[in-house]
Structure 1
């Protein structure tokens, strides 16, 4: 019933090529109406949900041993018992009591307040129990169960959902052959309600697609990061000489999508499971992705991913497009570790981020054309941290900017001198590093750079505290509470004249702690970053603050605390 209803409301959008079509999932009729847009059946709220890495485990047994992946009875020497709603800071996956509780909570508390959902993969358990190895049927079954639940909670209410494939959503883990194949066909069936019908052919080939969540205005691209992920040894890694490599085919498709949306003056969120970093992606996949992120900076609103389970952000920089130096040179770019000697292999991710932030130019020398920002959200599964989800707020005021023909042609390509590295006969001549010569479309007035229509304004992150999870039982449910928000406290309360005109709060007051509901409050432990918005300049500014070891010691402490949610990097 739900699926047939969802399919009936699919609307075909006018596009340049039906092969790359991305029509809406629901018939939104968006018309300007004063302070915000109105929908035929739903009014835009200016918020969306990002949820990732749920990892439901059908074998989870409350009271079981953590060492058995929470599957079997507790040995005498094992002090940790599996909790009814999950086991925090463990290697155990999610019981269905947790995934159902989370989605039921979102259904009850948030579905009236959001416009769409970005859902970034890993909806099957880890293969961490040799006595109960995963099977293909189990992986598909778990994904089908979660897809049905997402339909019931969101799609049935007219809220578009954009899922993407995780590295644990396939058997074997991390391995996905070039499509079309059995896996891409199976997920085209499992996600049939979410994928626009004209995109099914492309999806069956590569498990990626795009959807207009606000037709003619805003789209979300779902990427299959398995074809970029360097743990997938079944693909070639986007090498320039292998133009039919599935990673190259996907990036060719992405380029067409971004150009199409740009021509239509639309804005785009890029989403997927494994985040784009040099450590996660094959080198040529990363350099192609990074170049495209910078080239279409005026079209892309942001990049949202999961997989890492740790809460953080990374920067894509123009210097990432440099022809690689000798890999054996090693060392930090500024000659030393900005946090001190790395005596133990602990907090590696945190240290790498601070290292990168410390290499940024001084504020007066920053060229924001040369940056893009990747947001990595924590997981629902409490493995190894705490159950979490993230609510983004974005600007729905004002009018869309229409690019002139002149501005469409403006831009610049990489300014790096590649003559020597890319000369005929060089090792890099036949690589993507030597093919990046298209003009960039940067614009200081674009919503990724300044607060205007569709600009991401901030997010609120919610989790279940360790004590709440440990203290939960069949009769005592846990509670999601605000962990922190990126907003300054003042921005949580619009001026009185806007409130009188029914302007919406960025985060509804009922979803804030009592201490933040008071408009006279100026500081709060829940607002550590005080970011004016989530534009590229605001993120770069935060990165620069984190690079100051003495002046911003407390900010660093908070950043690390939120990254691991009070635990330690595994």
Structure 2
């Protein structure tokens, strides 16, 4: 009995002692992406109208209360209300900062209900209000970035000095984000990117992926002198060099990832230069966080001769490189938008060296929610439990990829997570 009491006392001490309990050194941050708020969404409407109007044939009016899974409809207010209500829970209120990787406004898909500039700004204000009412912005830093639906012209953006619409949206967002106390210098005013040093945390570099994105025809590829993408890459390398000199770590965040499974989403030269930059500074970059695709997937960065390559993982046959050549992995989070089941993510990181330890993925079964007229959010999975790795530095990622390569069971779990089907 005496031995049990001593053991219990030691266990209690270790819980509250940072020197004994390694977990006391860990911090957390939240990743939210692709909200696509649509205040015009109409329950029991026809999804063929982007859930904006009813059809005379009632059998076509299938839009659900909390959203319409796998359709071209955006997120209803009821869904966005529910996810922010869920984030009022303790698991989210204790986060150190929030990464929001963009696409706030609804898509401009409905020819009978075109988006206006005022609509886009209203969506930005509304979503910022959601965050402000859910979190204490005096304690938690919100770090946003621009999505391809967040500017006045879909998929079209130049630098402010070359385009009035680009200048206007950047000016509007700079004013709107003023209460966030972000480091929005002239780099943001002209190009939409910035770096934020988190107190006792990493340097978070918020990139503007629009200058790399293949669908943005307003700008040239990065081999053209003076192109916005080329200038952003020069700026990015400067930031990474500064982080390196400071002996810190950087988290990169942007909306559009370089790859989506096997598809390259960046302009050719921007892509190759960006990937090689990631490789060159892989010991500095501790996380790479994106959205856009709505999927939960990984892209592996590895040494390939004198250069670096990037492979999105969707099939086991994609893993055709040597595990020992891996220098990092890019993570893409699922969206709130119900293209798949909606999701949000909480990362854990080591507060001593800012290495990612793992993440908890939360989601909801949208079909069940619509059927029961009641939505329930729950943990879909924890990366540490699935992959058996507790620290995601280069060595940890090599172990994860090795398990994906050798274990059919683990890879099948990963495949179910891609479309948020693990609940």
TM-score using structure 2 length: 0.86
Distance 1:541 1:153, change over 3 A: same
The match for 1:367 is: 325
Instruction: Name which of 405, 414, 418 aligns with 1:547.
Output: 405
Instruction: Name which of 21, 37, 43 aligns with 1:62.
Output: 43
TM-fit CA distance, 1:164? 0.4
Contact 1:287 1:320 survives alignment (8 Å): no
Secondary structure class of the residue paired with 1:487: helix
TM-fit CA distance, 1:321? 6.8
Instruction: Name which of 345, 350, 360 aligns with 1:395.
Output: 350
Contact 1:162 1:222 survives alignment (8 Å): yes
Contact 1:90 1:385 survives alignment (8 Å): no
Deviations 1:197-228 (A, max 9, x none): 5x33211110010111225x422111000001
Deviations 1:454-512 (A, max 9, x none): 22111110001134322353xxx411111111113xxxxxxxxxxxxxxxxxxxxxxxx
Secondary structure class of the residue paired with 2:387: coil
The match for 1:415 is: none
Instruction: Name which of 359, 384, 393 aligns with 1:459.
Output: 359
The match for 1:566 is: 421
Larger Rg: 1
Instruction: Name which of 451, 460, 478 aligns with 2:375.
Output: 478
Contact 1:218 1:268 survives alignment (8 Å): yes
TM-fit CA distance, 1:104? 2.4
The match for 2:242 is: 260
Distance 1:86 1:320, change over 3 A: farther
**Normalized per residue, which structure has more strand?**
2
TM-fit CA distance, 1:80? 5.5
Structure 1: 4+ residue segments shifted above 3 A: 77-80, 108-112, 320-324
Equivalent pairs, count:
394
Secondary structure class of the residue paired with 1:318: strand
Contact 2:279 2:308 survives alignment (8 Å): no
Distance 1:51 1:150, change over 3 A: same
Q: 1:372-391 to 2 correspondence within 5 Å?
A: 372-382=328-338, 384-391=339-346
The match for 1:250 is: 232
Tell me if 1:88 matches 2:55. no
Distance 1:293 1:67, change over 3 A: same
TM-fit CA distance, 1:109? 3.7
Contact 1:88 1:470 survives alignment (8 Å): no
Q: Distance in 2 between matches of 1:75 and 1:259?
A: 61
TM-fit CA distance, 1:116? 0.5
Deviations 1:276-335 (A, max 9, x none): 2371111211122212212222221110100010110001233297599xxxxxxxx9xx
More displaced 10-residue stretch of structure 1: 157-166 or 242-251: 242-251
TM-fit CA distance, 1:535? 2.1
Secondary structure class of the residue paired with 1:390: strand
Deviations 1:215-259 (A, max 9, x none): 5x42211100000101101111211xx331111111111111111
Distance 1:372 1:54, change over 3 A: same
Contact 1:83 1:472 survives alignment (8 Å): no
Q: Distance in 1 between matches of 2:85 and 2:220?
A: 41
Q: Distance in 1 between matches of 2:305 and 2:179?
A: 38
TM-score using structure 1 length: 0.65
Tell me if 1:208 matches 2:168. no
Structure 1 spans left out of the alignment, 5+ residues? 1-32, 37-42, 325-332, 334-348, 401-452, 489-527
The match for 1:487 is: 384
TM-fit CA distance, 1:151? 2.7
Distance 1:267 1:133, change over 3 A: same
Distance 1:355 1:127, change over 3 A: farther
Q: Please, what is the CA RMSD of the aligned residues?
A: 2.5
The match for 1:170 is: 151
Structure 2 spans left out of the alignment, 5+ residues? 1-15, 162-166
Q: Distance in 1 between matches of 2:302 and 2:38?
A: 38
